[in-house]
Amino acid sequence: MDKKSFWYGTFAGFMAAVLISGVIVGAIVALAMMPLENPEDRYEEYEQISDKLEDIDRILDSKYYEKIDRSNMLNTAIKGYVAGIGDPYTDYYSKEEFNSFMEDSAGSYEGIGVVITYGENGTDLEVLSPFAGSPGEKAGMLPGDRILEVDGKSVDGMKIEEAVELIKGEKGTPVVIKIYRKSTQKTIDINIIRDVINMETVTHEMLPGKIGYISISGFQEVTYDQFKKALTELEKQGQKSLIIDLRNNPGGLVDSVAQIADEILPEGLIVYTQDKNGEKEEIFSDKEHQFTKPMVILVNEYSASASEILAGAIKDYELGTIVGNNTFGKGLVQSTFQLDDGSAVKVTIAKYYTPDGNYINGTGIKPDVEVSLPEELKEQFYVEKEKDTQLKKAIEILSAK
């Protein structure tokens, strides 16, 4: 499966919304929140849009062959309106989407603990992987299981977000998921009791030669504590050097990556942002912690945003060797603003710069040692260590030190 397709898979419905001409509807709502230099211009636009809406409604009411879901039309139109700003990181979230977004940021929710993606045809919903020890794993869900129904309701044609909302629920409540298992070509009902799911964003192990290895899949609220625990355990095992794997990490919370950077960097600047008015905000590390052993940071073209903040700071301070492929190149910061009805707008509010003042948006971070995976492995999420050329290079560099 294409990694990039999966990364953006949950936004497939959103991107489709951009193509819908219902942008006009969203303008009515959004214009009210956008101050214009001349208020009369706003009222004039209101009148024009209102007239056009009446014409559109008249046509749809009389000609459209099925029942019309106007709530969905309006929600889709607002998405399209916000998307019209031309920034892929400025989004509109419905109330339900915003709740899911906040759960993802927190790294904790109540559900069954499985990652869902689109199947090869782009519409079927399949299990990518269950979290270790999760209710889904314990009940027997496997990667590749195609989800057909949730509590008797078909998920055919549903977006990932809609299916996820059906699957989630309070701790201790049951859910029945009907799946089709390709390996056995059988349809199975799986009974699962929901529980609190704490996302495992950090994994670690000790490699031969006392080389510590920490993989970070995303920067959520839980990530710093998981990273600190992993680093402490590796130190207790006598690690002589460290690999931090940021490959396929799309980013996350700035506060989370700043806490981790503070554990590694000397006293000084971690990152700074600059808004449209030239106002700067700086984040610093203190002198309480600093990692002084040899270190390699693994990155690839899917390492983005907060991942690049950490990799960029380590590179600027010359504390470790960056190995892999040029990173994604997202040097922008977003902030989310909740609206009265529970929906929200995520807005790009500033650019960010590495400690040396490098703005990496669109260019990314160039590795100190560029190494690619074999072509046949580039689109795989899990690569065996024996075949992982980037990891092998990291071990080679640290072994030499």
Q: List the catalytic residues.
A: 305, 316, 330
Burial of residue 65 (CB within 10 Å: 0-12, 13-18, 19+) is exposed
SS3 assignment, position 330:
coil
State the Cα torsion 383-389-391-392 to the nearest 10°: 130
Please answer whether residues 304 and 325 qualify as being in contact, where contact means their C-beta atoms are separated by less than 8 angstroms. no
What distance in Å separates the CA atoms of residue 227 and residue 214, rounded to the nearest whole number?
8
Alpha-carbon Rg for the chain in angstroms: 24
Least Cα distance to 271 among 320, 303, 314, 214 occurs for 314
Task: State which H helix or E strand residue 111 sits in.
Answer: strand 108-111
Please answer whether residues 237 and 206 qualify as being in contact, where contact means their C-beta atoms are separated by less than 8 angstroms. yes
What distance in Å separates the CA atoms of residue 220 and residue 43, rounded to the nearest whole number?
42
Please answer whether residues 83 and 94 qualify as being in contact, where contact means their C-beta atoms are separated by less than 8 angstroms. no
Least Cα distance to 308 among 267, 357, 271, 349 occurs for 271
SS3 assignment, position 26:
helix
Please answer whether residues 127 and 147 qualify as being in contact, where contact means their C-beta atoms are separated by less than 8 angstroms. yes
